[in-house]
Every structure is written in C-alpha cells, then in structure tokens.
Amino acid sequence: MFSTKLSVVPKASPLVAAVCALVVVVSGCSSTPAPDKTATWSPNKIYAEAKDEAGSGAYDKAIPLYEKLEGRAAGTPLAQQAQLDKAYAQYKGGEQAQALATLNRFMKLHPASPAMDYALYLKGLVNFNDNLGIFGSISRQDLSERDQNAAKESFESFKELVARFPDSRYAPDARLRMNYIVNSLAKSEVHVARYYYSRGAYVAAINRAQSAIADYRDVPALEEATFILYKSYDALGMTELRDDMRRIMDKSYPQSQYMSKGFRTADNPWYKFW
C-alpha cells in the first residue's frame, strides 16, 4: 500500500528534494538514545537486579546488566562474579557459543581466581549439554549419537577440574559426567561398527569394534563390540576368530542377551543418567 501511494506523488523539484534530505539528516542527528536507567545505580544494585532477572528466567535482560557490571566494577571480585554469572545466563539462555567465549575470557584474565573450579565445571557443563535442537529431542537422541567433539571438550574440562581441584564441591558430579562421556564415546564407536555390519561391510565393522575395545576399558558398550566381532567373523567365514570371540563372550559376558536375542533395539539408552 505504501508503494502505491508513492507512485501517485508528483515529482519533486531538486530544491524540494534537497530540503527534505536536510530535514531527514537533522532529524536523525537530533535523536537521542534512551536514557540508561542504571546510570545512577551502584554496582551492588546492578548485580541484585541482574540476579533477579536471571532468577525469573529473563536471561536476555540479565546478560546486559552483567555486562554493565563488568565495566562498572572492573578489577574487583564483583566483576569476576558478573562474568561467571553472565556465562551461566548465556548457557541457560541457549547461547552456548557465547557462554564458552565468556568462560574462556574469564580463565585467561583470571588464572588464579578462587572460582576457577566453577569456571571449569561450567565449561564442561555447557559442552556436555550442547543443544540437540528440536529434532534431536524428538528422536530421543543420546550423547553417543551426536558429534563427539563437544563431548571430548567437556571431558577435558571435567578432567582438569578433578585434577586441579579434587576436593571441589563440583568434583563428584564432574567424575560422574566423565564416566558417562567415556561410555558415550565407546558407544559411538560401536554405533559405527554396528552400522558397517548392517551394511555388510564386515571388515570395517571389525576395525571399529576393535578400536572401541582397544581404546576403552570396563564400559558396557564393549559387550556389543565383542558381539559385532563374533558376528562379523562368522559372516566372513573366519571360523577360528569367530570361535575365539564366542569364548570371550561366554567368559566375559555369561549373561549376555546378544547371543540369544541379537542387537538391542530398546528406545531408552541403557546408561542415560541425565
């Protein structure tokens, strides 16, 4: 509708056009930004307001307040706290990349901070809960079926936390998550091995199953890896190696359901804790 109105306006003279342009420029220059309501606030008041916004789930409102506090209270413990709280608000608000950038900056600027254990824990948590998106949620995709880069980075953060701060309040949960990540990484190898087996690529299946067994110890996924080796050797007619795998299955997994029921098809991951 607006373009239709423009089509019937008579052509303006160059002088009129110049005057109109000048008015627009002057109007733009005269506009002023909205006043900063925090201009007269103390750092403590800004922090309290940011905490209230974050507490109510308004992370998009809390983040700018934390950023203002970083500048107002620069060089103080409160500014460090603001950085960490901003990272948490970014994480909870679904801004994983920004949260990681904030945490990396914090760790670079404050390597001796007494809150370093929390920074490492939060960094691990951000990568651990890397957003699956709506399709991942619908399909109930677990960690082992996702891109493993984030899982490995999460493990490294938790590992550093446990090594540097073994008595930290966050260390017990970090250890649990490390175990979960190791399980998921092993299971990821087995996912690939099973895929190759289902496609008839038995040599590739053997290689990936052997890789899982060589790289990981005492994780549940190794039972299926051994079963894949057994089935793959059988499919290739390699009876001696097949029989070796059968003996290992009988000795290491005497109650295994794989030998009687085949591959698992349950909807829920068998080791999902979160």
Spans in the chain with pLDDT lower than 70: 1-34, 130-147, 264-274
Query: Which CATH architecture group holds 188-261?
Result: Alpha Horseshoe (1.25)
**pLDDT at res. 3:** 41
Q: Which CATH class is domain 43-129+139-172?
A: mainly alpha
Tens digit of each residue's pLDDT (9 = 90 or more) over 188-204: 899 999 999 999 999 99
| 4-16 tens-digit pLDDT | 343 434 454 555 5
- Cα distances (Å, whole numbers) of residue 84 to 78, 103, 161, 175, 261: 10, 7, 16, 22, 50
* Domain spans in the chain, listed from the N-terminal domain onward: 43-129+139-172, 188-261
Q: What is the pLDDT of residues 14-38, one digit of tens each?
A: 555 554 555 445 455 545 666 778 8
CA–CA distance from 91 to each of 100, 103, 129, 174 (Å)? Answer: 8, 11, 9, 17
Which residue intervals of the chain are DSSP H helices?
A: 2-7, 14-30, 43-55, 59-72, 77-92, 96-109, 116-128, 133-138, 148-164, 171-198, 202-215, 221-235, 239-252, 258-261
pTM over 0.85: no
- Tell me what pLDDT residue 22 has: 52
Measured in Å, how far apart are the chain's first and last C-alpha atoms? 54
**The two domains 43-129+139-172 and 188-261 share their CATH topology (first three levels equal):** yes
Query: CA-to-CA distance for 117 and 178, rounded, in angstroms?
Result: 15
The pLDDT value given to residue 35: 76
